[in-house]
Structure 1
Amino acid sequence: MKKFRLLRADEIDCRVAMVKNSGLSLLLYKDARCDMNILDEEVGQENWQRSHSRDNANCTVSIWDDSKKQWISKEDTGTESNTEKEKGLASDSFKRACFNWGIGRELYTAPFIWIPSTKCDITSKGTGYTCYEKFYVSHIGYDENRVINALQIRNEKTNNVVYEYGTIIKTLDPEKASKAQIGTIESICKAHKIDPDMLYSSNNLSKATLTAEQAGLLLQSLKKKFGDE
């Protein structure tokens, strides 16, 4: 079976895991839309399927093996979400099943991500602390073993770099937006009845010249506005 490609920076989200007076730690994760896009891109829309059992607690992701002329399946169990219980459980079990296929498994190699209080706004809340700021992955790199060897995280509002790991390589020629990125943008537009051309225009962008970085920032904005799926 094929080995799935590595996640791009714009496909990875940041979640605050722990907050102290001295700073906070972040976890990296992917959403269900990312898994669906990669499956569509890598094996084709008609060559994979998902099914749920045990009230969405279990998810089986099956991929068609043309050489064997049969479906190959992998399954895993999810945990409930704090919001939209059934949808959250189905989404989590689906993401875990996709991890079994290797999609996003490289996230398990992420370093411990600590952002000191000098680079984020820590607020006292009751007997503990919280942070209302959001962060995003602006760069990620991998070695030949698919292990994360470079990582850069920025504050979503200020765009300031708050965390760096490894060597961050800056390319002179910006990478063009991928078909998957454009497809995701257009699928979100369709779901929320937005004209894609108007979206690009209102952000001073053009689909023809859209870069991967621009597409990533636009997707981050859309996710923030409409939430994850």
Structure 2
Amino acid sequence: MNIRTLMADEIECRVQTVKENGCSILLYKDARCDMRILDETFGIMGWQRKHELINNNLFCTISVWDEEKQMWINKQDVGVESYTEKEKGQASDSFKRACFNLGIGRELYTAPFIWIKLNSNDINKYNNKISVKTKFHVSEIAYNDKREIVALEIKDDKGNVRYKLGQRTVTETTDEEPNKKLDKAKVDAIRELARVKNVAEEYICNFRNVSSFEELEQDDWKATMEWLKKR
């Protein structure tokens, strides 16, 4: 039961948090991707799904046929409601979560913290609320032998590279001045928070493409501080 890793065009980008200067991105898969990989791996007749209510929560069970053991192998998980379609959202979410338990797309859990710098052309403002109008997609991705993401590139809907694993790329359309480096107080603050949250400085610096916290720019510092506080 060798389940392959996701290809770039099977991964979608969702804006998690947004500010005027940037947004964080989550990588996810949809239910159609799960069904396609189930068909490829186990055959159309080699898997099945069912939904059931347990304590008023909707669960999904994915069953795949193990030819060697001559038995069905089950994986189950619960779904959460969507903001738009309550029942359909729960059903789809429980299905996708059950597929994660089976191993489909589990490599997405190894994704780095993704922060994309925004400019005035990327955002909408209405009643003091900010939303991102630019669409992002994964253009390249690669994994190591442990199924961990080691290369990642994200482009916008105009084909501009906006993120690379280990470095941040900003399009030439940005209308903001370059960020200044951090002062000692901010360096000390992020270093102490990383220590408290048990996150290695080297880990953060690798994803920010710097050799130490002293080389971080203001936007990177703010985004990383927010990420650390939520851990």
Indicate whether the TM-score tops 0.5: yes
Deviation string 1:75-124 (CA, Å, 9 cap, x unpaired) is 00010111222111100000000000010000000011111124961233
**1:162 paired residue number:** 162
User: For 1:29-88, what per-residue CA distance to the aligned partner results, in whole angstroms no more than 9, with x for missing partners?
Assistant: 000000000000011010100000017710000000111111110100010111222111
- Structure showing greater radius of gyration is 2
Q: Name 1:177's counterpart in structure 2.
A: none
CA distance in 2, matches of 1:161, 1:45: 37
Tell me, in whole angstroms, the C-alpha distance in 2 between the residues paired with 1:166 and 1:83. Answer: 36
**Do 1:6 and 1:104's aligned partners in 2 also have CA atoms closer than 8 Å?**
yes
- Alpha-carbon distance, 1:3 to partner: 3.0
Partners of 1:120 and 1:7 in 2: how far apart?
A: 31
Moved over 4 A (4+): none
Where structure 2 has 5 or more consecutive residues not aligned to the other structure, the ranges are 168-231
Give the SS at the match of 1:57.
strand
AA in 1 matched with 2:164: E
TM-score (norm 2): 0.68
Could you tell me how far apart the structure 2 residues matched to 1:119 and 1:100 are? Answer: 40
1: CA distance, partners of 2:164 / 2:59: 36
Q: How does 1:73-92 map onto structure 2 within 5 Å?
A: 73-92=74-93
Give the corresponding residue for 1:139. 140
Q: Secondary structure at the match of 2:122?
A: coil
Kindly report the root-mean-square deviation, in angstroms, between the aligned alpha carbons of the 2 structures: 1.7
1:101 counterpart letter in structure 2: L
- Give the conservation status (yes or no) of the 8 Å contact 1:48–1:61: yes
Which residue in 2 is equivalent to 1:192? none
* Residue number in structure 1 paired with 2:42: 43
For residues 165-218 of structure 1, what are the alpha-carbon distances to aligned partners after superposition, in whole Å with 9 as ceiling and x for unaligned?
A: 159xxxxxxxxxxxxxxxxxxxxxxxxxxxxxxxxxxxxxxxxxxxxxxxxxxx
Could you say which structure has the greater relative contact order, defined with CA pairs below 8 angstroms and 6 or more residues apart?
Answer: 1
| Whole-angstrom distance in 2 between the partners of 1:26 and 1:95 | 19
Identity of counterpart residues, as a percentage?
A: 57
CA distance in 1, matches of 2:147, 2:121: 30
Equivalences for residues 48-63 of structure 1 within 5 A: 48-54=47-53, 57-63=58-64
SS of the residue aligned with 2:4?
A: coil
Given that 2:2 and 2:41 are in contact with CA atoms closer than 8 Å, whether structure 1 keeps it comes out as no
What secondary structure sits across from 1:16 in the alignment? Answer: strand
Corresponding residue for residue 33 of structure 2: 34
Measured in 2, the distance between the counterparts of 1:73 and 1:22 equals 45
Supply the distance in 1 between the matched residues of 2:49 and 2:57 (Cα, whole angstroms): 11
| 1:202 counterpart residue number | none
Q: Secondary structure at the match of 1:88?
A: helix
Instruction: Give the Cα separation in 1 of the matches to 2:151 and 2:67.
Output: 36
Instruction: Answer whether contact 1:23 1:115 (CA < 8 A) is retained.
Output: yes
Number of residue pairs matched? 165
